[in-house]
Amino acid sequence: MAEQRELLIAAIGRNLLAAAGAVVAIIGVITIIFSPGVKGWVKAHGILVYYGLLALLLIALVAINFIRLAKARLASEHDRRVVSQFLAEMPSDGPVITWLKQNTVANGIPFEYLDIIENVYGAMNANVIGLDNRAANKAYRELAETMEKFRVFVALNTFPDKSYRRVWISDSWDWKARKEAAEHIESDQAAVVTAYDHFLLISHKDGLDRPTT
């Protein structure tokens, strides 16, 4: 929790400094443009030269912003550490994702896989900082949301077998209720797979899945 607090404070500080810097820069540019010295310079050199210099300034600002955005997309150590921990617990070729992609509740859902999903979701939910990469963070939160929906619905609509190794939809339910529950679980299951693949795609594209140093 102490580490999470420090990261949160650091993230807030970075954003405040960035916002303050942008405001100061804008005020500074406007002050220079409308200063008496610039007005005198324009009279001496002509308005066309002035507009040309403004165009160059605008191009420079756009270039700086582009470089800043490109740098922001670079994978931070924090992001790579979070994604590394996530993939260690729920790898793309691991049993949980394999089951979600290839099975249905009709085969029974192993308790151990539900435990993994719950633990991974708990870690994601506890990560109040999220990820520095905005696109990856959005996909990260969407994945957590789909995992929670799947986990909660399964918990409320399935029951353990005699061995307590799997959960099933109860045979005592009427056919319609079983069908509706199964379809709902399969829909939530597909949503988890889609969100998972989307998160991995963004993480790989932006280098968040590279090993940490």
All structural domains of the chain with their residue ranges? 2-72, 77-205
Reported pTM = 0.69
| CA dist 36 → 32, 46, 135 (Å) | 9, 15, 45
Query: What residues form DSSP beta bridges with 101?
Result: none
Name the band, by pLDDT with cuts 50, 70 and 90, for residue 14.
very low
Residues 181-205 pLDDT 10s? 999 999 999 999 999 999 999 999 9
What integer pLDDT is reported at residue 6 of this predicted model? 46
Buried b vs exposed e over 189-211: b needs ≥16 C-beta within 10 Å?
A: bebbeebbebbbebbeebebbee
Residues near 77 by beta carbon (within 8 Å), at least 6 away in sequence = 212, 213
Residues 28-80 pLDDT 10s? 555 555 566 655 655 666 666 656 666 666 776 666 665 555 545 567 899 99
| Amino acid, single-letter form, for residue 103 | N
Dihedral angle at the C-alpha atoms of 14, 16, 18, 23, nearest 10 degrees?
Answer: -170
